[in-house]
Chain A
Amino acid sequence: MEKGTVELQVWHQKFLRYLACEGSPPAPGRISSRDPLHDKSSSHSPSSGASQSWFAIGIALIFSSFLKSPDKLNSETQIPLPAVNMPREAEISTNEKQFLKTALTENVRIDGRLFEQYRPLSLGFGEEFGVAEVELGKTRILAKVSAEVTVPYADRPFDGIFQIVTELSPMVSPAFEVNRPTETEVLLSRLLEKTVRRSGALDTESLCLMAGKKCWAVRVDVHVLSHDGNLVDAACVAVVAALRHFRKPDTSVEGEMVTVYTAAEREPTPLSWLHSPYCVTWSFYGEEGEMALLDASWKEEQVQVASFTVSLNRHGEVCQIAKLGGVAVDAVLLLKCTAGATVEVKRISEMVDQKLEEDAKRRDKGGLMAELRAENERES
């Protein structure tokens, strides 16, 4: 036991050194492990000596994957492998977990942030309308809005169709496969659905063109480009920003005829937007979940005992709350977290508004008249 603590202290110091160098610790990368031995080696090798560095572990991992080529395993010796053929994320090692937890009890987060501090959040828009990219630390999310005219659902003749589609591709992590929704994906899409769609942020009635016959179908595709924790908050900002940035073609209805105008004919119109909800996620640590962290990174998420996502808009309306299990957390702490979230949401909300404004200014150089004049010049 004592040896373990000594080891841990050495590690701790090492980490602090890394922190001082302003770099994130060169952790054993999240390697797709097709065989269970990886996990064993990653948890065992550090115990072989405190001098062993992270790099060595990484090499050991790669090495062991050479030794055990999958072809060899699949030959006639049918060893009952626990992992059938499902790639998964390498788990965080026991030592690293312990380190994270111990550091937290000393009020230190591994990336040096305060407990209630977000990672830097940046938002950018594409050339097209309705494309937004959000970076939250190393988490990157792209949201793209598209719209087309279709037939409304028979049971909702006066509403347009609005759907949010999330995709976690193998690009993010080998644990995600196309067409096989993982738990993470289901929860992410449900949270976005509840936050944005169910809370009525988009006025779906305004998407109706002709009752029961024609309506707009607005679809948001959320692509996760890289996953370093807190997908929900980042994805929510991306979805809301993309929807507010989006312009759908203008239409006119005459009798039974619906005309959709191109951008050249008529200026595209923004969606009828009612309020902007944002998610704020807290992670809990400690035996009874008494420590609350804002915006956990991927590694911190692996150690959390519970998480709590609350969606609010700047008017102080809760749109959704989700604490889906985990360790029981004191109700008062949850209320405190909600109060903290309202502050955070105001900040995010201002940031998004400002970015949208900047983008609008950038596009609208010299105003509408200048644009028209430029077009005429080209034609003549």
Chain B
Amino acid sequence: MLAPAKPINCPLASCLAWSACPTKKFTNCSDSELSLFRLPPSAPVTTPSTDTINRFDLYLRATSVLDSVFSHSPARNVAMPLDTSTYSMALLRVDGRRWNELRRLHAQIRTQSASDGSSYLEMGHTKVLCVVTGPTEKLASQRMASSSSSSLLDVNISIAGFSSVDRKRPSRTDKRVSEMAFTVQQSLNKAVHAAIFPNSTISISLTVLSQDGSLLASLFNAATLALVDAGIPMSDYVTACTSGSTSSYAAADDAADPLLDLNRQEEQELPFLTVATLGGSDRVCALVCESRVQVSRLEGMLAVGVDGCKQVRTLLDRVIRERGAKMIEEGAIARGDVVGAGDEMDTEED
């Protein structure tokens, strides 16, 4: 069911034998709880918005306490030396995963009764809620709202102020967020059979409750699940994950390994990219990289990322199928509909 990751361009052939551990461990085990004990002690922080040294000191102490209290992510805004030496020794990452291991992925659909489709997704400690409304008639104001006025989907991302370690006031005009919304919208637009819904709009509103890396990937996955729940015809799942490389851009060491599904701490320290593929194929919907990395490293990272997307697709598909089976059991849905749809999917997979 789960093919072990391809060892493309990866000098870790020996490590493969280890990573071919039982699939359950491979997919659903995770860093989360265990990892808390393996994390290095929290580092000092920058950024108190104050000018007095006195308060600065205090802030350091207070937040480092809070840090350990809110143990979900020790990573701060400031780069903290990530002890990659431990990786080269034990081939284990800071949270105890292997190089090609996903974090725990937990997802639910139909979390909210009022909307047409909804989902809740956790990738490690990154938690995203998605609500889909529509298709509804396009309002006159929406028609001309943007240059992509012909677009069926309307994606809205709100990042909760409490989602990161430091409380950050959400800003409407954050270009980074609107870029993410644009990316999700443009990718899903091509996956949805938009021709069926002329002159309509489907609004996808995503809420980020907690951030611990792979944010864009989680947004992709949550939006896909909610669209499936809303019954919007799509050509296939759009799934996403991140991949990185253990060497920084400066070090031209050949021994660098690709890594799958980075957490926040790794994202701050290592070059990484987010890749979204259509239906677990090798076809890439979105590819976003914001860090400096040697071009030779790209191939390995992309291969691992694409492979990660396949794993994510399997997991999401399982979530949908389990929920579907449950709904048939409960009699919420006529059996014929689902079987037909399911068969079609099966043939696609084959």
A255 to B66, CA, bound (A): 38
A194 lies within 8 A of B50 (CB): no
Among A84, A184, A321, A338, point to the contact of B288 (Cβ < 8 A): A321
Chain A residues near B288 (CB, 8 Å)?
321-324
Report if A84-B282 is in contact (Cβ < 8 Å); known contacts: A190-B179, A316-B296, A318-B292: no
Q: Which residues of B contact A326 (CB under 8 A)?
A: 186-187, 190, 285
A277's closest neighbor in chain B, by CB?
B292
Distance between A49 CB and nearest chain B CB, rounded to angstroms: 28
- On chain B, the residues within 8 Å of A318 by CB distance are 289, 292-295, 298
A212 at the interface (CB under 8 A from B): yes
Q: Is B185 an interface residue (CB 8 A)?
A: yes
Count of CB-CB pairs between chains A and B under 8 Å: 138
User: B287 contacts which chain A residues (CB < 8 A)?
Assistant: 308, 321-323, 334
Tell whether, in the assembled complex, residue A325 and residue B190 are in contact, meaning their CB atoms are under 8 Å apart.
yes
How many Å from the CB of A101 to the closest CB on chain B? 16
Residues from chain B with Cβ under 8 Å of A199 in the complex? 292
**Interface residue B183 (Cβ < 8 Å from any Cβ of A):** yes
Chain B residues 123 to 150 lying within 8 A of chain A, measured CB to CB, are 140-141, 143-144, 146-149
The CA-CA distance from A196 to B49 in the complex, in Å, is 27
Tell me whether A84 and B144 are in contact in the complex, defined as CB-CB below 8 angstroms, given that A212-B51, A322-B288 are known contacts.
yes
Q: B184 at the A/B interface (Cβ < 8 Å)?
A: yes
**Minimum Cβ distance to chain A for residue B107 (Å):** 22
B182 within 8 A of A: yes
Shortest distance from the beta carbon of B45 to any chain A beta carbon, whole Å: 10
In the complex, what residues of A have CB within 8 A of residue B295's CB? Answer: 312, 316-318, 338-339, 342
Number of B residues with CB within 8 Å of any CB on chain A: 53
Contact at A183–B148, with CB atoms within 8 Å? yes
Knowing A318-B293, A325-B185, A326-B190 are in contact, say whether A82-B143 is a contact too (CB < 8 A): yes
What B residues does A288 contact at CB under 8 A?
283
Tell me the complex Cα distance, A24–B88, Å.
Answer: 59
The segment from B13-21, B273-281, B328-336 found at the interface with A is B273-281
Residues of B within 8 A of A312 (CB): 295
Interface of B is mostly: mixed
Q: Does the CB pair A154–B50 fall under 8 Å?
A: yes
Contact of A323 (CB < 8 Å), options: B182, B249, B286: B286
Q: Which of A154, A198, A329, A339 is in CB contact (< 8 Å) with B284? A: A329
Least CB distance, B8 to chain A, in whole angstroms: 11
Contact of A83 among B144, B187, B290 (CB under 8 A): B144
CB nearest to B46 among chain A residues: A155
Q: State whether B51 touches A325 (Cβ < 8 A).
A: no
Instruction: Given contacts A318-B294, A325-B188, A342-B295, list 7 more A-B pairs with CB under 8 A.
Output: A84-B144, A155-B46, A321-B298, A324-B288, A325-B185, A328-B190, A328-B277
23 contacts between A and B (CB under 8 A): A82-B140, A86-B144, A88-B144, A155-B47, A155-B49, A183-B146, A189-B175, A190-B179, A317-B292, A318-B289, A320-B289, A321-B288, A323-B288, A324-B186, A327-B190, A329-B283, A329-B284, A330-B283, A331-B277, A331-B303, A334-B287, A335-B299, A335-B302
